[in-house]
Structure 1
Amino acid sequence: MKQLIVAFLLFPMMIWSQSGFDAAEKLFKEEKFDQARPIFENFLKNNPSNLKAIEYLGDIAGRNKSWDTAIGYYKKLKQLKPSEANYYYKYGGALGMKASQVSKFKALGMIDEVKGAFEKAIVFNPKHIEARWALIELYIQLPGIIGGSESKAIKYSDELLRFSPVDGYLSKGHIDEYFKRYKIAEQNYKKAIAIGGSKVSYLMLANLYKNKMDDPEKAKSVLEEFRKKSQMVNR
């Protein structure tokens, strides 16, 4: 009987707590992050292990470029659920963004942990697309003396090609574009368009024409092709 009374008294609090979370989630999806944050924080006080609330707060901190705060939330997620690939990916991303804003000497000490987080994401989810993109970007941006490697970037691009051909060709085009092999990049972006026809594929090709190959007319033509295609799909 005593347990029944306790449960009865707690039930309204549980309902209020859940409704608060739902309200915060709705605000988050509407991109009203400053309004959602204090509601999630209050919810977390009574539900300190709620994974979604912690993740939302980490995402809000990341959007506000509060990298230390975001890192703290994602680190907690890793501790609570150490086999979730996305938590490692987000942790690595926040850590990488922080590394880009500190001194070069301090950033050097963070690189291995950033790489390790993305690699761990792939271990737990062998088809994690975003983690491979992150590693590709990392390896082409870093100087060779501190771990940069085009061959390693290509390795992850090849892996993408096997299970996500569009991402595979886009990533290959991105690598070629970075190393100023513009004609080869153009071919890879066109292959991605032929396979998937995604907006991202068209935009990457258009940006290549406009910003790297000094051909704004081709860029306009690519964007016009995408516009016409979109209109046909939406009819």
Structure 2
Amino acid sequence: MKHSIFLIVFLPIIMGAQSNFEKAEDLFQEEKYEQAQTLFESLYSSNPSNLKTIEYLGDIAGQSKNWDKAIVYYKKLKELKPAEADYHYKYGGAMGMKAKESNKFKALGMIDAVKASFEKAISLNPKHIDARWALIELYIQLPGFVGGSESKAIKYSNELLQISTVDGYLSRGHIDEYFKRYEAAEKQYKKAVALTGSKTSYYKLASLYKNKMRDPEKAKSILESYNDKKNQGRLN
């Protein structure tokens, strides 16, 4: 009898919450972020410890480049579930974007926290690909006097090569491209193309030809090759 009363009283409430969450998810997937945010905030007010709701709110804040709000949500995720690598990665990413848009003095004070967040993600998940990409980007863009280091970027690229070969090739190509070693970058991107034939690999190579090596005909040829193979069903 008690179970029956519970179902009669609370099941409609539970089902309504599930329905609203699904609606909010659908709106998010449709990139209707403002509408999704309204629903997620309502869900958050009734259950402020729901991890997925908090994560979506952080992601929506990130989409609107409201880094302060994103940082608050991702920080709460870390506190609620400190062993989840992705939460540290997202927190570091939001901190990094805030630092990028801040004045130099403030940004310098945030760099250590950004690095630590990405490193924590890797320590929790040794196969975390995105955290390594983020550290590569950080180390190649930072000036040397505040911790920038091509050798450290290459270290993480080498780690990617062991975890995901294509990410290893693409990341090493990205490093070479950043430092204007275009022929070396070309070789790495070609390895990625040969390995998987992924859209990303083809587009990185085409972009290199068009924007850095000033060879639009090669870029066009690469993209045509990709489209032909895709139409023939020869790509994954």
TM over 0.5: yes
Most deviating of 23-32 and 106-115:
23-32
Q: Which moved more, 1:20-29 or 1:9-18?
A: 9-18
Partner of 1:212: 212
CA offset digits 1:97-117 (Å, max 9, x no partner): 000111100000000000011
Paired with 2:38 and 2:130, the residues of 1 have a C-alpha distance of 29
Gaps of 5+ in 2: none
TM-score, structure 1 normalization: 0.96
In 2, Cα distance between equivalents of 1:135 and 1:46 = 37
- The total of aligned residue pairs comes to 235
1:148-227 maps to which residues of 2 (within 5 A)? 148-227=148-227
The answer to whether residue 40 in structure 2 is matched with residue 40 in structure 1 is yes
Matches within 5 A, 1:55-70: 55-70=55-70
Q: Which residue of the partner structure matches residue 18 of structure 2?
A: 18
Counterparts of 2:199 and 2:6, CA distance in 1: 55
Spell out the pairing of 1:115-154 with structure 2 (5 A cutoff): 115-154=115-154
- The residue type equivalent to 1:110 in the other structure is M
Query: Residue 135 of structure 2 aligns to which amino acid in structure 1?
Result: L
Counterpart mapping for 1:66-105 below 5 A:
66-105=66-105
Give the distance between the partners of 2:192 and 2:215, measured in 1 at CA: 20
In structure 2, what is the Cα distance between the partners aligned to 1:81 and 1:4?
Answer: 34
Inter-partner Cα distance in structure 2 for 1:15 and 1:149: 52
Amino acid at match of 1:85: A
Find the residue that maps to 1:100 and give its secondary structure.
helix
Counterpart CA distance in 1 for 2:49 and 2:4 is 25
Per-residue CA deviation, residues 98-154 of structure 1 (Å, 9 max, x unaligned), is 001111000000000000111111111111111100000000000000000000000
Q: Which amino acid aligns with 1:48?
A: P
Q: Give the secondary-structure state (helix, strand or coil) at the position aligned to 2:168.
A: helix
Deviations 1:47-78 (A, max 9, x none): 11111111111000000001000111100100
Mapped partners of 2:217, 2:3: distance in 1? 74
CA shift for structure 1 position 170: 0.4
SS of 2:110's partner is helix
Aligned: 1:29 with 2:29: yes
Normalising to structure 2: TM-score of the pair? Answer: 0.96
Structural RMSD (CA)? 1.5
Q: Distance in 2 between matches of 1:163 and 1:146?
A: 29
Q: Mark the runs of 5 or more structure 1 residues left unpaired by the alignment.
A: none
CA distance in 2, matches of 1:205, 1:105: 36
